[in-house]
Amino acid sequence: MKNRDHYYWEAKRYGYRSRASFKLLQINERFYILKRGYNVLDLGASPGGWSQVALELVTPGGKVVAVDIKPIKIRGVIFIKKNVFDEDIIEKLKPHAPFNVVLSDMSPNISGVSSWDHARSIELAERAFQIASSVLLEGGHFVAKIFRGDMERDLIRKCKRRFELVKLHKPKASLPHSSEIYLICKRFKSLRIP
Ligand SMILES: C[S@@+](CC[C@H](N)C(=O)[O-])C[C@H]1O[C@@H](n2cnc3c(N)ncnc32)[C@H](O)[C@@H]1O
């Protein structure tokens, strides 16, 4: 609870829309995902804490495109109101692609049944991975939240085929009792034959 209060107040102090901002800042401190000039896609962006951090780190020169079912308005962020499972999502993203980085902090509505929440979070991360595979530049990076469980292995295996480095990381700002963890995938390998 102390941890929660700390990041809650820190978010207020820095003008961030959610305490989740600190998770992305900590991931970035460790893995150097975001750089000035990068184009970033933020899936499941509402209320906007990650988009705010990404925008600060990539501008001037870069851009942030945010997608969510719930609308957000952040000056300088291009927002697309969409469900990631909509069939036309890639088509809607293509005018803004390619991206250097695809982020997904998407989360299902928590049921409290851990196996169910785990399975839904893997579905969302798999969908984010599919989208990332269509819009990432060669050498680009992908970060996705999952709730831990036995289905994570298969997703990690898929990611390892398409990225040079794949790691699981729990930033300090992630509540210790939560089973959430972040899949960090660096340097996307294009399937094109040179
Ligand atoms: C934990 S919140 C993201 C917090 C955000 N990263 C921030 O820093 O403020 C998870 C978000 O995922 C979104 N989401 C869940 N399923 C989705 C889907 N199928 N398509 C688009 N967004 C989705 C939810 O609407 C919710 O806003």
What is the strand order of the sheet 99-104 is part of? 77-81, 63-68, 39-43, 99-104, 136-147, 180-188, 163-169
- Measured from the CB, is residue 160 less than 6 Å from ligand 1? no
- Measured from the CB, is residue 44 less than 6 Å from ligand 1? yes
User: Do residues 190 and 170 lie in contact, with contact meaning Cβ atoms separated by under 8 Å?
Assistant: no
In angstroms, rounded to a whole number, what is the distance separating the alpha carbons of residues 118 and 121?
5
Beta strands in 108-155 (DSSP E): 136-147
Residue 161 Cα to ligand 1 midpoint, Å, equals 26
CA-derived radius of gyration, the chain: 16
User: If pLDDT is split at 50, 70 and 90, which confidence band does 192 have?
Assistant: low
Q: pLDDT (tens digit, 9 = 90+) per residue, 88-136?
A: 999 999 999 999 999 999 999 999 899 999 999 999 999 999 999 999 9
- Measured from the CB, is residue 173 less than 6 Å from ligand 1? no
Of the candidates 174, 173, 176, 169, the residue with the CA atom closest to the CA atom of residue 32? 169
Q: pLDDT (tens digit, 9 = 90+) per residue, 135-183?
A: 999 999 999 999 999 999 999 999 999 999 999 999 999 998 899 999 9
Domain map (residue ranges) of the chain: 20-188
CA dihedral of residues 25, 91, 189, 76 (deg, nearest 10): -30
Could you give the maximum distance between any two Cα atoms of the chain, in Å?
A: 52
- Cβ neighbours around 42 below 10 Å, total: 31
Beta bridge partners of 186: 165
- Ligand 1 atom closest to Cα of 145? 1
Which tokens sit at 166? 């794949």
User: Do residues 28 and 34 lie in contact, with contact meaning Cβ atoms separated by under 8 Å?
Assistant: yes
pTM: 0.96
Residue 194 Cα to ligand 1 midpoint, Å, equals 37
Residue 70 Cα to ligand 1 midpoint, Å, equals 8
pLDDT the model gives residue 193: 57
Residue 18 has pLDDT above 60, yes or no: yes
- Ligand 1 atom closest to Cα of 52? 8
CATH label, 20-188, candidates 3.40.50.150, 1.10.287.610, 3.30.565.10, 3.40.50.1820: 3.40.50.150
- Measured from the CB, is residue 106 less than 6 Å from ligand 1? yes
In angstroms, rounded to a whole number, what is the distance separating the alpha carbons of residues 12 and 45?
18
Instruction: Among 21, 105, 110, name the best residue to mutate to test ligand 1's pocket (greatest count of ligand atoms within 8 A of Cβ).
Output: 105
Which tokens sit at 133? 């595979």
* Residues noted as catalytic: 145
Of the candidates 31, 56, 20, the residue with the CA atom closest to the CA atom of residue 167? 31
- Measured from the CB, is residue 22 less than 6 Å from ligand 1? no
